[in-house]
Amino acid sequence: MTDSTQDRIVAEAQRWIGTPYRHQADVFGLGVDCAMLLVRVFCDLGLVPPFDPRPYATDWHLHRSEEKYLGGVMRYAVKVDEPQPGDVALFKFGRCLSHGGIVDQITPEITMIHADLSAGHVERTEVRRWADRLAGYWRVTQ
């Protein structure tokens, strides 16, 4: 991934900060959830072909072992050991990977932009806050 592509991904993710958390929504400024934030950022920038993972229940990850979230990411990304800005951080809640954010900074702390249900909006937060659930980082390939 080139530096300019990384910059575009980070800038687009940052633009969504403050958008309210709304399950299955994908409208800038009105509502988005963590899955649709990733879809909107990468599809709107033309880095992955348009797709729509909806519908999905709010608690799908508690009752299934199917890696639906990871399956969507893996179609377009590869796992990497060292994150860079623009990479996707994935987290496990329940039985499978079910939350993601976009890395926007790696020093002095790794931070990500994500739609956080508990915060009620898209925010920037330190990945270490969620370290016990971190499954790794993925980079979109073009």
pLDDT at 120 (0 to 100): 97
Residue 49 preceded by cis peptide, ω within 30: no
State the total domains in the chain: 1
Percent of the chain with pLDDT strictly greater than 70: 86
Please say if the pLDDT value at position 139 is more than 90.
yes
Flag the least confident range among 4-18, 53-67, 97-111.
53-67
**Given this model, what pLDDT does residue 98 score?**
77
Q: Which residues constitute the domain of residue 129? A: 3-140
Residue 45: its pLDDT value, please?
96
18: left (phi over 0), alpha (psi -120 to 50) or beta: left
CATH of the domain at 36: 3.90.1720.10
Q: Indicate the pLDDT class of residue 72, thresholds 50, 70 and 90.
A: low
pLDDT per residue as tens digits for the range 12-47: 999 999 999 999 999 999 999 999 999 999 999 999
